Amino acid sequence: MSRTVSRAGRRRPANAPVAASLADELLKAAATLVAERGPQGFSLREVARRARVSEAAPYWHFASKEALLAAVAEEGFVALATLMAGVCERVKDPHRQLQELGVAYVRFALAHPSHLRVMFGPEIRDKSAHPTLKAAGDRAFGLLVSAISDGQRAGRVQRGDAEELAVAAWALVHGLSALIIDGQLRKRVPNEREAQRLATRVTKLLQTGLARRDGT
């Protein structure tokens, strides 16, 4: 029977209905396994066992281990972009919007640590090999670039390459998120409330750093 390739390297029988529930169960099992063992301790065989399907079943939806991890990463970027878009819709002031985007990113990391690790881990060597994953990642980054560009046009954010400033902003909040979810700030951040407080203080520094000054 021939197969066709769908999003993030997923495969399905030609002319057959997509078993969305099975694909969702495989994604859920994959995310849980990553949370327990990290992306390096990941195998399609173990995912199949946890989803209670045959070892061959994952291949009807995902062409390879990397394709399944790419689907997990795509799921994460879609959720992150949705969260970011909600902030942009709710918060119109460009200066405050950047801080709220940073806090939202840390909130996402706390809620989805396994997704975050796969989204930025080395297991997916080339995101462009998974077009829908790349599109989802580009959309999330594009929302941040747009927020900075809007702030520049409003005279609230310093002039400069908007993408370069977005990279700096992303690096700051991602670094903080990684430190928190990897337990490196456990004494300072014992719970989610303290994590959000720290995120607010750190992103305030980001907000201040990006603020436009006379002549900039």
Taking Cα atoms as reference points, which of 211, 179, 196 lies closest to residue 98?
211
Statement: residue 125 has pLDDT above 60: yes
Q: Are 212 and 158 in contact (CB under 8 A)?
A: yes
Residue count of the chain: 216
Model pLDDT, residue 161: 94
Q: What does the pLDDT look like over 159-212, one tens digit per residue?
A: 889 999 999 999 999 999 999 999 999 888 888 889 888 988 888 877 676 666
Q: What does the pLDDT look like over 78-117, one tens digit per residue?
A: 999 999 999 999 999 887 898 899 999 999 999 999 899 9
Assign 3-class secondary structure to the chain. CCEEECHHHCEEECCCCCCHHHHHHHHHHHHHHHHHHCHHHCCHHHHHHHHCCCCCHHHHCCCCHHHHHHHHHHHHHHHHHHHHHHHHHHCCCHHHHHHHHHHHHHHHHHHCHHHHHHHHCCCCCCHHHCHHHHHHHHHHHHHHHHHHHHHHHCCCECCCCHHHHHHHHHHHHHHHHHHHHCCCCCCCCCCHHHHHHHHHHHHHHHHHHHECCCCC
Query: Domains of the chain (ranges plus CATH)?
Result: 3-65 (1.10.10.60), 69-210 (1.10.357.10)
Model pLDDT, residue 115: 92
CA angle 53, 59, 63 (to 5 degrees): 150
Q: What does the pLDDT look like over 148-162, one tens digit per residue?
A: 999 899 888 888 899
